[in-house]
Amino acid sequence: MLRVRPEKIARMSDEATTPRMETAGSDGHGPRDQSPREANKDERPSRAEVSNFEIVDHWFTLAADRLEIRDDVRAVLSSSYREVQVQIPASLSDGKIHVFSGYRVQHNGARGPYKGGIRFHPDVDLDEVRALASLMTWKTAIANVPYGGAKGGVNCDPKKLERGEVEKIARSFMDKIEKVLGPTRDIPAPDVGTNAQTMAWLMDEYGKLHGHAPAIVTGKPIALEGSYGREAATGRGVVCMMEQAAKSAGVKLNGASIAVQGYGNVGSWAARLATELGCKLVAVSDADGAIRNDDGIDADLLHQQVSEGRTVPEFEDADAIDPADLLATECDVFIPAALGGMIHEANADKVNCKLIVEGANSPTTPAADSILADKGVFVVPDVMANAGGVIVSYFEWVQNLQHFRWTEEEVNERLGNIMRGAYEAVADRAEKDDVSMRVAAYAIGIERVLEAARLRGYLTDTRVPAGD
Ligand code: NAD
């Protein structure tokens, strides 16, 4: 049996991962926010104070140190190739013009066209999009699909907008960033707050300017050359990783209890597919609250109700719990599938499971990761665990470029093969180097990007010379 030891990382505070400018606000411009909203912040924040970028940069730096990458090469790999910020003014139903900010960050394209989702969420900012773009570079490299890394987003709240308003924002965003996109340049996909319908609008808008080009976005509806299996792909990949890691984490999947944070695309698919394997869903949360039922929650029924517009806490056959207590639910497997920074220094100690499979991007801060390692919790990191989405996006793109279609069985089988291969490669590397799965995964990703950059002639020597 392969047993991968969680790496001991010197315990550090979330506040201390990267030096912060004391006098600057979160956007780096002007003084910190002293408003009552900030001053009255909960002592147990639901999300970490550490930024998404600091989280990704921390893991990159740790892996780059082990690989002895030169500082000038690191500077190339840790910064973005291109960052686009656009203004999206939209007249909404209140009769006013609202100004949103849209971002597209292309991090590294050494291995192929840029690839990454588009998020519609009020917290979207440049720091978050930058971090997620960089994560995509390492993720596509670890999964070994021929893409670089990118991400985009608009700081709007689709839950508070009418359907026509979301469409207007999506089309306007495409109009403003289309020049840096293209089926062989940069290919967006869904993320938090966007879905197949959003992709259909983006494809249509791009088509008005460039002609019909389904390969411009992935995660499209099936009727518009989307791929079978794409909608479920990230959740299916998470469950595949759970199966791979179960033995090492000492979890017997048949009858294993699972808790899921976030019941959108990733969380609900992961929960439904895990229950098909015989797991019991005991606790779930969404942005509106959390529920628990130790006898099991019907994952399909919950999904059906959520897709009809109800919230998770409105589900009747379970008890409402404080969302902050979701992490403390005793279970075998915990699947974070909401936002970044949800498991942090102030709450990681409460985690009460054997295995965490990170469906969300950057759900665990570095400080929390060390607490989990001390507690002996086995973690399958985001950078490999949630790669199922981009893998099937790759399949969708390949099908679009050739205008043919694979069956769902073919897609799922190919997805499983790639996910299992990635798990094995990372687990072997973690054992060989005696490091955590996360550091091993980043090391593999960085090496593959460096190899592509070297072969293209962008970089020559990358390692610190002996004696330096
Ligand atoms: P989604 O918008 O479909 O669902 C997000 C879910 O999180 C919703 O249920 C929402 O209510 C919940 N949520 C938001 N704030 C919360 C909070 N404070 N506490 C608990 N739940 C909260 O988004 P998604 O596509 O399922 O993405 C979820 C995560 O997975 C994100 O981190 C995303 O970047 C990552 N991811 C998504 C994909 C994909 O293919 N969709 C691929 C890789 C990674």
Summarised one tens digit per residue, pLDDT across range 278-330 is 999 999 999 999 999 999 999 999 999 999 999 999 999 999 999 999 999 99
Residue nearest to atom 15 of ligand 1 (CA): 287
- For residue 379, give both structure tokens: 């973690």
pLDDT at 467: 58
pLDDT at 465: 67
Which of 115, 121, 134, 192 is the pocket-test mutation for ligand 1 (most atoms within 8 Å of CB)? 192
pLDDT tens-digit series, residues 346-385: 999 999 999 999 999 999 999 999 999 999 999 999 999 9
CB of 399 closer than 6 A to ligand 1? Answer: no
CB of 270 closer than 6 A to ligand 1? Answer: no
Residue nearest to atom 42 of ligand 1 (CA): 389
pLDDT at 460: 80
CB of 337 closer than 6 A to ligand 1? Answer: yes
pLDDT tens-digit series, residues 201-244: 999 999 999 999 999 999 999 999 999 999 999 999 999 999 99
User: Which residue among the candidates 115, 151, 220, 354 is catalytic per the annotation?
Assistant: 151
Residue with tokens 């075998």, as numbered in its chain:
332
pLDDT at 13: 53
Q: Can you give the length of the chain in residues?
A: 468
Q: What is the mean pLDDT of the chain?
A: 91
pLDDT at 3 over 70: no
pLDDT at 150: 98
User: Which residues are within 8 A (CB) of 51 and not within 5 positions of it... i.e. 6 or more apart?
Assistant: 26, 127, 128, 131, 341
pLDDT at 41 over 70: no
pLDDT-derived band of residue 459, with 50, 70 and 90 as boundaries? confident
The ligand 1 atom nearest the CA atom of 47: 18
pLDDT at 33 over 90: no
The yes-or-no answer on residue 151 being catalytic is yes
pLDDT at 48: 66
pLDDT at 28 over 50: no
Percent of the chain past pLDDT 70, that is, above it, reads 88
pLDDT at 466: 63
CA of 231 to the centre of ligand 1 (A): 13
Which of 265, 291, 303, 307 is the pocket-test mutation for ligand 1 (most atoms within 8 Å of CB)? 265
Residue nearest to atom 21 of ligand 1 (CA): 286
Residue with tokens 């005696």, as numbered in its chain:
434
Which of 339, 344, 384, 396 is the pocket-test mutation for ligand 1 (most atoms within 8 Å of CB)? 339
CB of 106 closer than 6 A to ligand 1? Answer: no
pLDDT tens-digit series, residues 268-284: 999 999 999 999 999 99
CB of 262 closer than 6 A to ligand 1? Answer: yes
